Amino acid sequence: MSQFGMQMPGGQMQRGATMNVFTGLLALAVLALVAACGYVALQGMKISPDGSPFSLQKASDGGSGPTAIEFKPK
């Protein structure tokens, strides 16, 4: 009967979604982005004036060009 395009109920089971190469690469990319965000946040905490990665540096005093950020090791 399949030659006429008819399908019997329960004749073919539906497959569930399976993980393929692209799904694995997507998961790897998400993990890499999360790790990169964490690394940037840690580095931002090291150079910020009050320890928060979202705080801003002091504005320059209007000099002729950009000024160097003073680094004070802890």
Q: Is the pLDDT higher at 19 or at 67? A: 19
| pLDDT value at residue 57 | 75
| pLDDT value at residue 37 | 96
Buried residues in 53-62 as b, exposed as e (16+ CB within 10 A):
eeeeeeeeee
| pLDDT value at residue 18 | 82
57: which residues sit within 8 A by CB, 6+ positions away?
48, 49, 69
CA distance 65 to 52: 26
Q: How do residues 16-60 score in pLDDT, each as one tens digit?
A: 778 899 999 999 999 999 999 999 999 988 888 888 888 877 776
| pLDDT value at residue 30 | 98
For the cut 60, the answer to whether the pLDDT of residue 65 exceeds it is no
